[in-house]
């Protein structure tokens, strides 16, 4: 009798038994929570503890769900505020599956859950934004002070003061979350909304252009004021420099003239003492000084008309006979004047 068919049948049964046994065992990761289903319907309680678990092989299936915090990122939408300003709001949120059984029964998967959140938050965000002014949504701090220097605050006046707000973006975000949570609790979806944040708030492109133009003109005005103040300060510094320079120059000139006066006085005193020591020395000093006068008076194109009675001419008059005899120069004319050739020298 052939034993191969029996052996093969035994091995096939054993393999089938092993496969069935393996299908009855499953593991749960710490980041997961599991719902056991039969024919697509949940069976028993959710499995939320990590480790090794058992189920009926082949009959039961395992549906794995995220246990971690999940992300909702909504689309950018344009919406009006209370003060009729159209802004573009981009929001995001964080949520998790709080009731896996209700989630599987009513939502089934993550895509459907995100669609439910789009419906809830997509209605609550415009409603809340529309009940507040744009400044409340843009700014997050109620008591925020303008970051501006004392110089600017003294010149800009009202523009240096931020508009007072009552709520701020943080409270508005909390208001959105509270309203959305109330709606989600009313729905048996097993979804818990943890947080909602306004990721970005922008003006319309047309409004942005106007705002940027105002910002540029305001900064240009501030820059022009700084430049004018700088020019005034520069003029003041230059004026002080010129005044101090003139003071220094006048003081230096005064000192120079004082020193020169003292030097001239000392020189005159020394000359006086030297030449007054004897009558011949005084006459010699007078002669030297007169020669200096002659040198300063007579130039190339100088013409002098002097009387013989002049003190300046006294030495030429006393030298006239001797010079005439030695050099053969003509004598003075009857009027006591030099010849023309001597006048030109």
Mean pLDDT for each consecutive 10-residue tract of the chain (345 residues)?
64 65 83 90 89 85 92 92 90 95 91 94 94 88 58 50 78 94 92 94 82 86 90 92 92 93 88 74 76 72 69 63 48 48 44
Instruction: Work out the end-to-end distance of the chain between its first and last CA atoms, rounded to an integer number of angstroms.
Output: 169
Q: What is the pLDDT of residue 34?
A: 93
Rounded Cα distance, 259 and 264, in Å: 9
Ranges of H-type helices in the chain: 4-23, 100-106, 110-130, 134-138, 150-156, 169-185, 205-275, 279-297, 314-327, 340-343
Structure confidence at residue 323 (pLDDT): 45
Rg of the Cα trace of the chain?
57
Q: Which residues contact 132 (CB under 8 A, 6 or more apart)?
A: 81, 82, 167, 172
Check residue 14 and give its pLDDT: 67
3-state secondary structure of 192: strand
Domain boundaries along the sequence of the chain: 4-66, 70-203, 285-343
Residue 151's pLDDT is 47
| Residues 130/80, Cβ–Cβ less than 8 Å | yes
pLDDT number for residue 4: 65
pLDDT score at 167: 85
**Block residue for tokens 């002014």:** 133
Torsion, CA 268, CA 274, CA 279, CA 280, rounded to 10: -110
Q: What pLDDT was estimated at residue 54?
A: 86
> What per-residue confidence (pLDDT) applies to 274?
75
- pLDDT given at position 341: 41
Task: Tell me the C-alpha distance between 67 and 193, whole Å.
Answer: 14
Angle at 299 between CA 296 and CA 304, to 5 degrees: 85
What pLDDT is stored for residue 338 in this prediction?
47
Q: How many CB atoms lie within 10 A of CB 30?
A: 11
Residue 12 pLDDT: 67
Q: Which CATH architecture has domain 70-203?
A: 2-Layer Sandwich (3.30)
């Amino acid at each position: 009798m052939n034993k191969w068919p029996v052996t093969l049948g035994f091995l096939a049964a054993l393999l089938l038994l092993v496969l069935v046994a393996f299908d009855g065992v499953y593991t749960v990761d710490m980041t997961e929570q599991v719902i056991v289903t039969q024919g697509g319907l949940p069976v028993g309680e959710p499995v939320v503890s990590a480790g090794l678990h058992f189920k009926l092989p082949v009959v039961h299936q395992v549906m794995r769900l995220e246990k971690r915090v999940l992300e909702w990122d909504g689309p950018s939408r344009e919406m009006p505020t209370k003060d009729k300003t159209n802004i573009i709001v981009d929001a995001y949120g964080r949520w998790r599956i709080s009731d896996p059984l209700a989630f599987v029964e009513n939502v089934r998967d993550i895509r459907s859950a995100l669609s439910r959140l789009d419906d809830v938050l997509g209605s609550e965000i415009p409603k809340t934004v529309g009940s507040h002014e744009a400044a409340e949504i843009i700014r997050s701090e109620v008591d925020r002070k303008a970051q501006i220097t004392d110089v600017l605050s003294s010149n800009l006046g009202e523009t240096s003061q931020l508009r007072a707000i009552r709520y701020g973006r943080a409270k508005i975000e909390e208001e959105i979350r509270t309203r959305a949570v109330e709606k989600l609790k009313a729905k048996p979806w097993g979804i818990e909304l943890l947080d909602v944040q306004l990721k970005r708030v922008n003006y319309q492109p047309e409004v942005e252009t106007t705002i940027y133009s105002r910002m540029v003109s305001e900064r240009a005005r501030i820059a022009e004021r700084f430049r004018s103040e700088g020019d005034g300060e520069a003029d003041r510094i230059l004026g002080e420099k010129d005044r101090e320079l003139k003071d220094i120059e006048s003081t230096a000139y005064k000192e120079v003239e004082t020193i020169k006066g003292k030097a001239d006085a000392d020189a005159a005193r020394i000359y006086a003492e030297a030449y007054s020591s004897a009558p011949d020395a005084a006459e010699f000093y007078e002669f030297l000084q007169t020669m200096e006068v002659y040198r300063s008076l007579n130039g190339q194109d100088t013409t002098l008309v002097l009387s013989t009675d002049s003190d300046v001419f006294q030495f030429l008059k006393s030298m006239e006979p001797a010079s005439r005899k030695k050099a053969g120069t003509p004598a003075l004319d009857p009027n006591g004047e030099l010849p023309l050739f001597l006048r030109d020298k």
